[in-house]
Structure 1
Amino acid sequence: MTRPRILVVGAGFAGVGCVRRLERRLAEREALITLLSPFSYQLYLPLLPQVAAGVLTPQSVALSLRRSQRHRTRIVPGGVVGIDTAAKVCVVRTISGEFVTEPYDHLVLAPGSVTRTFDIPGLADHARGMKTLAEAVYIRDHVIAQLDLADASDDDAERAARLRFVVVGGGYAGTETAACLQLLTRNAVKRYPRLDPDLIKWHLVDIAPKLMPELGDKLGAAAMDILTKRGIEVSLGVSVASVDDEAVTLTDGRVLPSRTLIWTAGVAASPLIGTLGAETVRGRLVVSAEMDVPGLDGVWALGDAAAVPDLAKGGEGAICPPTAQHAMRQGKAVADNLVATLRREQTHPYTHKDLGLVVDLGGMDGVSKPLGVELHGAPAQAVARGYHWAALRTNVAKTRVMTNWLLNAVAGDDYVRTGFLASKAGTLRDFEYTDAYLTPEQVRLHTGSFRGAVGTGGDD
């Protein structure tokens, strides 16, 4: 008997959750499991703002996929750049730049998302993102570099521009990024006696009429109050009209001299989804409640890349939000349905009631809504950190994060920059390879030998 080949694309919350569940539930003789990911770690994305602020080290939020020797999943270090669903083959660009093919019997698509951008003049060339570990490390370096450059300058206009920071996006990522980095600059400027602390300006901009509307009016107002008391200027109903290397122009006509634009205005499904030619909803792949893709044999999709029906909310067209909470649970649910399919058992629809939302605003501030209970201030921050700590997958990661939190609380930060990408702009296009995907014609050039040989199975 040949063993079915299961390919899991993506090592985020959804992909890793699926693989770990498959390993626990399937005997080695039942299937061959392969995980395809450019990086051999699972990134704990919600803590990236704390990496940028220097509260946590990068290794603390990068959970190694190779640390345990007991896991039998084969890890392929590369990114899937095309899929031939007729031949049941993925085309993978390895980290060395070579193209390899990976045939499958069952494909689990969890490639995650990328930063959502718009056709705004100068955005691609001047905006920085907060979606990857490298971006968080780079932004910390960049912000500290602006303090150094402002300190070295005798030009008042240049100094003011370097000390003005603009964050676009009033969701969780943008709000936490602005809050955490504002604390970084507020504390760091004490080490720069030539700089006037009042020159440091932080702006949070969002086109939406409310800050973090998912939290409700009361907690949204509490978050707004925390930010404004810290001196962060929040502009709602406004977006960016254009940006260059000297200023950010807003849609209300204001021109903000600045050398820093951090773009966190939402996410879009991985461009890989657009190469399939399948039905999508707002860019996310249409799936059933069981998370299989209609019309594509053996293909499952979940997480940020899939429009998974939200049965708990009810209502026609309701889909699960792209949150870590849903991704982790969807990974387990897809694994269970995949096991049931292999064993010819009944599959089950995904349903999960939201446990609440947590937002860590740094220091002793936060806003949280666990199980519908509204909290703000220190209690909310304690809940937020407790939730994130508990959600970390390994005890090693939990120990590192807790140690970092305690060390930062006691000893503070040294505000050291590493010089990471010092000679490059470090913009969105430098970190998110959204143009790396193949056309269907290019994919078929790599998979032609597999056509007509579908269903031959894996190794025995």
Structure 2
Amino acid sequence: MSRPRIVIVGAGFAGYRTARILSRLTRQRADVTLLNPTDYFLYLPLLPQVAAGILEPRRVTISLRGTLRGVRPVLGEADHIDLDGRIVHYTDPEGGVATLAYDRLVLAVGSVNKLLPVPGVAEHAHGFRGLPEALYLRDHVTRQLELAATSDDPKSAAARCTFVVVGAGYTGTEVAAHMQLLTMDLARRHPLPGGVRPRWLLLDVAPHVLPGMDERLSVSADRVLRRRGVEVRMGTSVREATHDGVLLSDGEFVETRSLVWCVGVRPDPLVEATGRPLERGRLIVDPYLRVPGGAGVFACGDAAAVPDLTNPGTFTPMTAQHAWRQGKVAANNVAASIGIGESRPYRHRDLGFVVDLGGTEAAADPLGVPLSGLPAAAVTRGYHLAAMPAAPNRVRVAADWLLDAVLPPQGTQLGLVRSWSVPLDTASPELARVPGAPEHHLAPGPVKRADIRAEGDS
């Protein structure tokens, strides 16, 4: 008899771990294929440090071929899932169209930028979801400081040195914290004319930074940001974005050339096309991560609405660590469906979360104990080193941290990523570009946070 064909769509936290554990469980007793647009798994929590120049880009990328023995990686992006025919249709990087047949399917396609119909945002803002956006942001910020340094117009120089981050969740808070440190360091080494200094604004409609997290840690992060000079504007949103700046909900117009969109994410639209029941855009699954009515179909990560058995009646939030833990359960249950091991439901124990604020500052609550300052920074970086799934990457990350502690930052542009190659409107461009669309305020999206959970959790 032919071996079962297992296809995993997406190599984010959920998909990568599913593939990694399945390669060990099946031991050549099944054909495991991993479909993903890139040949690497991206460790997202450290992406702000790539933008700030602390880490080299390849430090946070884990090679699929190098770490997934027994798994066949296929480069491509899924376009359509034929659940009746058990076929995945996809497009390869060069535009070719192909298909993958499966006996078991794991949907782990993750999420995309949440784009709201705020006039001008799609054209003038950039998101922060991958390596291209991080590299572009670093170049863009460096370029603005360099252009400001040679400007004869103080007003124009001030606008170029003003940076607006929308969304004070995990990603937005870390981006503002790390990039503010970078720009202040560059400005000290290469003074700007006319007394101009880098200015960072962090906006959110929520009452405090890091909404949904422990209030004590929110207060700690807020205190660090304000002490550094970041203008934290809670209860504030963007009404309109233009080439020259942003109009805030309180009527103030902020002149800027830099708008970073970290409002949140929404499930990849691919799951909507399956025609299966959804919960706020996520595929509803049972506690075993099975899609009801989809023979041999499982879903996990941001694409799945997984029942939270520790809090009946709710679903687990869209976080990286839930995705990582769900990947383990998905692998076990897929293997069980072909006669290897036993199925088990998804449960978790929350041991806290960590937020790196740059330098020796962080916010963390391991085992429910709130920490700040150097102790929190030590816990945060220790956690990331432990969570990194490849030993060579751990060594290189640790080496970069050491070099960053003793050497000055390099304020140079690489010029690898152009503005047009990192559009924000990947989620719903038709919504964002409707002329005369009604005004909306920004609602805080799901928090993508590096929360700590027990390694042995299922």
**TM-score w.r.t. length of structure 1:** 0.91
Matched, 1:62 2:61: yes
Q: Which of 160, 165, 168 is residue 166 of structure 2 equivalent to? A: 168
Matched, 1:363 2:359: yes
Tell me: CA distance 1:25–1:421, structure 2 relative to 1, closer, same or farther (3 Å).
Answer: closer
For the 8 Å contact 1:215–1:369, the answer to whether it is kept is no
Distance 1:266 1:14 in 2: 18
**TM-align CA RMSD:** 1.7
Matched position secondary structure for 2:350: coil
What one-letter code is carried by the residue in structure 2 that aligns with 1:156? P
For the 8 Å contact 1:189–1:197, the answer to whether it is kept is no
Tell me: CA distance 1:117–1:435, structure 2 relative to 1, closer, same or farther (3 Å).
Answer: closer
**Deviations 1:103-145, CA, capped at 9 Å, x for gaps:** 1111100011111110110111111111011100110000000
Matched position secondary structure for 1:215: coil
Q: Which residue of 1 aligns with 2:211?
A: 213
Distance 1:95 1:418 in 2: 24
For the 8 Å contact 2:176–2:202, the answer to whether it is kept is yes
What one-letter code is carried by the residue in structure 1 that aligns with 2:191? P
Distance 1:78 1:133 in 2: 17
**Deviations 1:298-330, CA, capped at 9 Å, x for gaps:** 110000111111112x231x1112222111111
Distance 2:135 2:30 in 1: 38
**Deviations 1:162-207, CA, capped at 9 Å, x for gaps:** 0100001111000000000000100011232343565311000001
Specify every segment of 5 or more residues in structure 2 that has no aligned partner in the other structure, as ranges. 431-458
Query: Cα distance, 1:338 vs. partner?
Result: 1.0
For the 8 Å contact 1:10–1:110, the answer to whether it is kept is yes
Describe how 1:325-336 pairs up with structure 2 within 5 A.
325-336=321-332
Q: Which residue of 2 aligns with 1:239?
A: 237
Matched position secondary structure for 1:203: strand
For the 8 Å contact 1:210–1:236, the answer to whether it is kept is yes
What one-letter code is carried by the residue in structure 2 that aligns with 1:98? G
Residue-pair matches, total? 430
Q: Which residue of 1 aligns with 2:118?
A: 120
Matched, 1:392 2:384: no
Tell me: CA distance 1:411–1:196, structure 2 relative to 1, closer, same or farther (3 Å).
Answer: farther
Distance 1:197 1:81 in 2: 52
Q: Which residue of 2 aligns with 1:2?
A: 2
Q: Which residue of 2 aligns with 1:79?
A: 77
Which stretches of structure 1, 4 residues or longer, exceed 6 Å deviation after superposition?
Answer: 433-436
What one-letter code is carried by the residue in structure 2 that aligns with 1:338? V
Distance 2:287 2:194 in 1: 56
Matched position secondary structure for 1:102: strand
What one-letter code is carried by the residue in structure 2 that aligns with 1:341? S
Q: Which residue of 2 aligns with 1:89?
A: 87
For the 8 Å contact 1:186–1:197, the answer to whether it is kept is no
Q: Which residue of 1 aligns with 2:398?
A: 402
Distance 2:66 2:128 in 1: 26
What one-letter code is carried by the residue in structure 2 that aligns with 1:256? V
Q: Which residue of 2 aligns with 1:446?
A: none
For the 8 Å contact 1:126–1:243, the answer to whether it is kept is yes
Tell me: CA distance 1:24–1:434, structure 2 relative to 1, closer, same or farther (3 Å).
Answer: farther
**TM-score w.r.t. length of structure 2:** 0.91
Specify every segment of 5 or more residues in structure 1 that has no aligned partner in the other structure, as ranges. 437-460
Distance 1:334 1:293 in 2: 11
For the 8 Å contact 2:283–2:299, the answer to whether it is kept is yes
Matched, 1:294 2:295: no
What one-letter code is carried by the residue in structure 2 that aligns with 1:245? H
Q: Which moved more, 1:336-345 or 1:298-307?
A: 336-345
Distance 1:404 1:104 in 2: 42
Tell me: CA distance 1:423–1:220, structure 2 relative to 1, closer, same or farther (3 Å).
Answer: closer
Q: Which of 202, 205, 227 is residue 204 of structure 1 equivalent to? A: 202
Identity, % of aligned pairs? 46
